[in-house]
Chain A
Amino acid sequence: MDSEWVIDAQGLEKSYGSGASRFDALKGVSVQIAPGETVAIVGKSGSGKSTLMHLLALLDKPDRGTLQVAGKDAKALSKRAVNELRNKEFGFVFQQFFLTPNVSVLDNVILPLKIAGMGGRERRRRGMQVLEQLELVDKAGNKATTLSGGQKQRVVIGRALVNAPRVIFADEPTGNLDTATGAVVEDILFELNRSQDITLVIVTHDEELAARCDRQIYIRDGLVVPQTAATHTGAHAMTTAGGPA
């Protein structure tokens, strides 16, 4: 059963603060994501969807619940192993890009490879390959700050893609883009899913983007809820709502 899911989370709970200011961001969420799937995590701001993504991406630790990533129990992994897992298996796309200013597009793209300790020549080769794929080769030497929003998000996707990850986590990937540019970026992400079989986990409140995914997980007040009034449903809902497993 383990290997069937790239991510298998059971009864995740997470709260911030303590006493009167205690805030329960997640109150027992179970999520399973299969390899090659595209999953949208949908919810309003404050619903806990970002917290859920952080837990699934091993950026944070749950207070309670179990989480298995690629068949490995996250709790049993050392800090070093978690870092390596994030570096090699995950890619991240953020709404606000988080590109390093005053550094070239190529250098931004190859940052994960640099962190992984890959040699300079190989880094460059793979970086250029990704830029070619995203039609940004002519911008390779430009500073990241000189690009348009759509180009920036393509660079961010390039950065998420350069280490050939198994899963890409995208947090509101089109939130900062106009409709037309947003659509282009969406197309690129879904194309990657199709051609390279990369699992996509997209956090969004954009129903249209959510609808393009295989499956939607609706989060409200820290719990998974059956899909809301919003109409188009995914093919199959494998989500479960409930207390700790």
Chain B
Amino acid sequence: MRIKDLVATAISNTFRSKLRTTLTVLAIFVGAFTLTLTNAVGAGVSQYVDAQVGALGSPDVFIITQATDASTAGDGPVEFDASSSASVASNQGPPGTTTKALTDADLVTIGATAGIESVDPIRSVQPDYIEYDSGTPYEFSINATSAVTTADLTAGAQLDGGASEAQLVLPDTFVLPLGFASAEDAVGASVSIGITDILGEKHTVDATVVGVSLESLLAAGAGANDALIAELADAQSSGIDTAVTSYGVAVAHFDTTLSADAITALKADLATAGYTARTIEDQLGAVQTVINGIVGVLNAFAVIALIAAAFGIINTLLMSVQERTREIGLMKAMGMSSGKVYTLFSLEAIVIGFLGSAIGAGVAIGLGSALSAALSQGLLSGLPGLNILLFEPASVTFVIGLVMLIAFLSGTLPAQRAAKQNPIESLRYE
């Protein structure tokens, strides 16, 4: 028997007992539906977290602070040391902790560490407002680390760190209030940023909007390139050298070709020197681990449903083998080999598995997409860019493949029974 004929026969046999097939398919449907949805939740949340990580910084970047003072109770006050005791709230440690500032000497030390290519202090600037075309000014802040981050853009391009022109990536919430028709409309426009210097005098700095970004959970404010930050910092300091030699945080670029082990070693080196170096992945690793754990548990439930469905397949096919004893005997009498009989019944199991999983995945995608759209408009509208259910073709294909594999394994026992049947026994009628 040709494979094509075997498949066609298996498909038509599957539909011979419609009610029974439908019920078995339903059981598989439930499992496949659940598995597709849980995978989609995992993918959706992961993608969101990845986008947030991108907003925090590029993969070849360390965020470096002084090692946190663990001021344990009972130690008593620490003696002041003019050279190292300046503390800066850096927002990089857990709430309630302060981080000792990094000095220029520290930057030199870090820069000299083997494997570090460059180190830059993060200078924070506090602009007052932003306005466009002399319209209404709006309160405004700039994300200090934006020069090294990758924004989650809706229009335009990323910041060019090397450009001499002052560039700005505008959060999309500013687009309409500032008077732009759309995100695309804002790209290329020149906006004015107002800033007050240390003497209380007001200045304005012009910048070109190069991109519009989605608001991010982890990096608030607009993005500015080095040129703009420098210009703002100059305006803020009012030309006076305020001798800012301490920084809360520095950003160090390391060799992108380093392996994961080498990066760990580099972190250890910096730790010995008294600095805490964390990559963006480190900062979000815990979050991702939790998400993966939750998705794993949900998947386990779906797989349990599938295992229950597998027994349904075994039962259905055993009944089918029983009912078709004579048909099997006849086919064997007519020269069909045991192997082909086995293949035929295995294919029937796979067809049932495919039906259940394809329908399950299809319905999950349909319902899930609608639900996801509704949620992002409603309950989850505070998290722009979050697609709670993301259906990736690869994972949907994987689910269908997995269910078909489970179905095939379930079909093994009935198929074996059919293949072993003795044609005379099957045809005996005396």
Contact = CB atoms under 8 A, between A and B. Distances in A.
Contacts of B9: 114
B330 A80 contact: no
A76 to B, nearest CB: 18
B335 A112 contact: yes
Nearest to A50: B430
A137 B423 CA distance: 30
Nearest to B1: A115
Contact of B424 (A54, A80, A84): A54
B contact patch SS:
helix
Contacts of B5: 114, 117, 120
A46 B333 CA distance: 21
Size class of the B contact interface (CB-based, 8 Å): 20 to 34
A111 B334 contact: yes
A66 to B, nearest CB: 20
Given A54-B424, A114-B1, A114-B5, A98 B334 contact: no
A83 B337 contact: yes
A50 B333 CA distance: 14
Interface in B1-56: 1-2, 5, 9, 12, 16
Given A45-B430, A98-B326, A92 B334 contact: yes
A94 B334 contact: no
Contact of B2 (A60, A96, A100, A117): A117
A227 interface: no
B327 interface: yes
Nearest to A60: B424
A88 B335 CA distance: 8
Contacts of A46: 430
B424 A98 contact: no
Contact of B1 (A54, A84, A96, A117): A117
Nearest to B324: A100
A95 interface: yes
Nearest to A82: B335
Interface in B273-332: 326-327, 329-331
B316 to A, nearest CB: 17
A54 B427 CA distance: 10
Contacts of B329: 98
A115 B330 CA distance: 11
Contacts of A60: 424
Interface string A95-114: 11010101100000001101
Given A100-B327, A112-B335, 15 more contacts: A59-B423, A83-B336, A83-B337, A86-B333, A87-B334, A87-B336, A94-B427, A111-B334, A114-B5, A114-B9, A115-B1, A115-B331, A115-B334, A116-B335, A117-B2
CB-based closest 3 A-B pairs = A87-B335, A83-B335, A86-B335
27 contacts: A45-B430, A46-B430, A57-B333, A83-B335, A83-B336, A84-B335, A85-B335, A86-B335, A87-B335, A87-B336, A92-B330, A92-B333, A92-B334, A94-B330, A94-B427, A98-B327, A100-B327, A102-B16, A103-B12, A112-B334, A112-B335, A114-B5, A115-B334, A115-B335, A115-B340, A117-B5, A120-B5
